[in-house]
């Protein structure tokens, strides 16, 4: 699961979203069909139909498409990038679209985040954009086509595994990429449902392309650089999933040079303990996922970096220990940031967080690349969008 940053909290709380009250001990109740306010709850056994299910699901309250990746230019230029499209419904499905302006809808809003790290210079550029549904932002429910302002993510000719991504970061930078999945989509969770706590609505459909080949261009100011690289793409659909007991979370998506991936998240409770809902999943070369529970891996800090902007202290680099399903032995990796300065300042959401490109080291040797997300280190999350 790639939990959607502090922004999920932010969006949820900013619209009076009722966060689940019970602590997560991973003894989930049977799922309800819908939330109290009338949104659908993801159900097990759902048969995904693509490309339709890459598109929007307006019956659900929250949804996001989340892309991170590492790009390389012809002259050894290296970039890390993030592009995230969030959708949040303000009114239940039965009330959506009933009256009001179609151009300026108030029943649904979108949030877009983009960031680019120019590794050589250490220059980190990022932006956030909030838009109401209508002319300025929309998402198709028949296939992947989501747009916030000028930023777009869409399927190529309706295909289910080839997409294009276009985004700019103000006038300073931009990227235009063609993405092609190297593995089939991975659906995390038992029976296709990723449970996030014991609440009867705390669940999501969590779809991931853990390895996509990217080709295109990056622009830094007026300089255009052809790039290639690897991208990680999440698409998650839910109506309720988080608890008030969580102080934040740490997440990583690791792409190993041997063709396998790890998706790992550690939910941090307010008392500092790791929440039992935390998990690690290996994805093998064929795209098959192997699940490990909270007690089977260790997420530790290998240092601290303090942001001069927000004052937050982030546990960086990260030391991760987990069993390798091939050998069965416990392996340790260091997730080392390509630059510490990869904090997004939360200018729109109001919640700073760290989301950055890392190299993956095993016994000092680089064995892959990763994106790491660290949330809840810069104050309360629920104050977002104020």
Partner 1 sequence: MNLKPVEDRGGTARVSGVLLRQFTLRHWRGQPLRALLLVLLLSLGVAVFLSIRLANRAAVASFTNFASVLSTQADATIGAPAGLLPDSVLETLRQNMAVKGTDISAGMELIPIVEVVCAPPRSGEDGGIGARGSFTLIGVDLVALQNFAADQKMERRWFEEASQADEQNGGGALGRLLGRRNAVYCSGKLAAKEGLRVGSLLVLVVNDQPVSLEIAGIIPGRSDQPESPAGLLVMDLPALQELSGKVGLLDRIECLFPKGARQGASRDALLTRLRAAVGEAGSVRTGESRLAAAELMTRGFRLNLTILSLLALLVGLYLIFQALDAAVVRRRSEIAVLRALGVRGSEVRRAWLWEAALLGVAGGAVGVLGGWALAQGTVRAVSQTVNSLYYANNTEAAGLHPGEAAGAFLLAVGCSVLAGWFPAKRAAATPPAQLWAQGAGPGGAEADSALRTWVGCGLLFGAVGLAFCSPLTFSGGSRFALGGYLSAFFGVIGAGILAGDSLRLVAWLAARFSRHSAPRQLAQSHLRVPTSRHRWAAAGLLCAVSMTGGMSVLVGSFERSVSEWIAHLLQADVYLTSDSNQAATAYNRISSSSWRKITSDPAVSDWDAMLLVPVEFGGGSIRVAGTSLDFYQRRRQFSWLKEPLSAEVFDRKQNEGRCVVSESFAERFRVGRGARIRLPTPKGERALEIEGIYTDYGDDQGIVMVERGHLQEWFGTSAVSSLSLVLKAGEDPEAVRAQMRASHPGLAVFTNVHLRGEVMRIFRQTFAITYALEAIGVAVALAGLGITLASILAERRAELTTLRALGMSRTGIAGVAAWEGAILALGGTAGGLISSLGLGALLIFVINKQTFGWTLQPAIPLRALLLLGVVVPVSGAAVAWVVGRYGAELPSDVTK
CA 378, 380, 381, 386 dihedral sign is negative
Query: Residue 115, interface with partner 1 (CB under 8 A)?
Result: no
Contact 100, 124 (CB under 8 A): no
For residue 343, give both structure tokens.
Answer: 């904090």
Query: Residue 382, interface with partner 1 (CB under 8 A)?
Result: yes
- Give residue for tokens 């892309």: 67
Shortest Cβ distance from residue 158 to partner 1 (Å)?
18
Shortest Cβ distance from residue 324 to partner 1 (Å)?
38
CA angle 4-128-188, nearest 5°?
A: 20
Query: Residue 162, interface with partner 1 (CB under 8 A)?
Result: no
Q: Which of 25, 29, 94, 100 binds partner 1 (CB under 8 A)?
A: 100
Considering only 167-175, 187-195, 265-273, 364-372, which stretch makes contact with partner 1 by CB under 8 A?
Answer: 167-175
Query: Residue 96, interface with partner 1 (CB under 8 A)?
Result: no
Contact 301, 281 (CB under 8 A): no
Please state the φ and ψ torsions of residue 53, each to the nearest 5 degrees: -75, 0
Shortest Cβ distance from residue 149 to partner 1 (Å)?
8
- Give residue for tokens 């104020």: 386
Query: Residue 302, interface with partner 1 (CB under 8 A)?
Result: no
Query: Residue 24, interface with partner 1 (CB under 8 A)?
Result: no
For residue 124, give both structure tokens.
Answer: 């980190």
Query: Residue 178, interface with partner 1 (CB under 8 A)?
Result: no
Q: Which of 52, 123, 152, 319 binds partner 1 (CB under 8 A)?
A: 152
Number of residues that bind partner 1 (CB under 8 A): 48
Q: Which of residues 308-347 bind partner 1 (CB under 8 A)?
A: 347
Q: For residues 16 and 364, which CB has a smaller minimum distance to partner 1 in the complex?
A: 16
Burial of 363 (0-12, 13-18, 19+ CB in 10 A): exposed
Q: For residues 128 and 236, which CB has a smaller minimum distance to partner 1 in the complex?
A: 128
Q: Which of 123, 162, 219, 319 binds partner 1 (CB under 8 A)?
A: 219
Q: Around Cβ 87, how many Cβ atoms within 10 Å?
A: 25
Q: How far apart are CA 5 and CA 244, in angstroms?
A: 15
């Amino acid at each position: 699961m790639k939990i959607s940053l502090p922004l999920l909290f932010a969006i949820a709380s900013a619209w009076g979203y009722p966060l689940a009250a019970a602590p997560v001990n991973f003894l989930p109740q049977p799922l309800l069909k819908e939330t109290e306010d009338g949104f659908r709850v993801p159900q097990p056994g759902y048969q995904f139909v693509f490309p339709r299910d890459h598109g929007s699901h307006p019956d659900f309250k929250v949804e996001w498409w989340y892309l991170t990746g590492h790009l390389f230019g012809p002259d050894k230029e290296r970039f890390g990038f993030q592009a995230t499209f969030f959708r949040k419904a303000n009114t239940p499905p039965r009330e959506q679209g009933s009256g009001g302006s179609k151009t300026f809808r108030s029943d649904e809003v979108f949030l877009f985040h983009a960031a680019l790290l120019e590794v050589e210079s250490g220059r980190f550029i990022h932006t956030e954009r909030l838009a109401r549904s209508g002319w300025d932002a929309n998402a198709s429910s028949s296939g992947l086509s989501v747009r916030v302002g000028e930023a777009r993510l869409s399927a190529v000719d309706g295909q289910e595994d080839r997409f294009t991504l276009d985004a700019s970061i103000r006038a300073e930078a931009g990227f235009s990429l063609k993405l092609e999945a190297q593995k089939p989509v991975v659906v995390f969770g038992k029976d296709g449902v990723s449970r996030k706590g014991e609440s009867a609505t705390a669940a999501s459909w969590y779809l991931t392309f853990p390895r996509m080949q990217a080709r295109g261009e990056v622009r830094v100011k007026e300089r255009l650089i052809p790039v290639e690289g690897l991208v990680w793409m999440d698409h998650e659909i839910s109506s309720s999933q988080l608890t008030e007991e969580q102080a934040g979370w740490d997440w990583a998506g690791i792409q190993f040079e041997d063709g396998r991936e790890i998706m790992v998240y550690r939910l941090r409770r307010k008392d500092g303990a790791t929440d039992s809902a935390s998990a690690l999943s290996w994805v093998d070369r064929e795209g098959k996922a192997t699940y490990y529970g909270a007690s089977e891996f260790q997420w530790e800090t290998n240092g601290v970096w303090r942001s001069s902007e927000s004052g937050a202290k982030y546990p960086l680099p990260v030391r991760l220990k987990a069993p390798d399903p091939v050998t069965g032995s416990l392996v340790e990796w260091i997730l080392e940031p390509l630059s510490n300065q990869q904090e997004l300042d939360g200018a729109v959401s109001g919640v700073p967080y760290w989301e950055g490109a890392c190299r993956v080291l095993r016994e000092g040797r680089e064995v892959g690349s990763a994106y790491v997300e660290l949330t809840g280190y810069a104050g309360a999350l629920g104050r977002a969008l104020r």
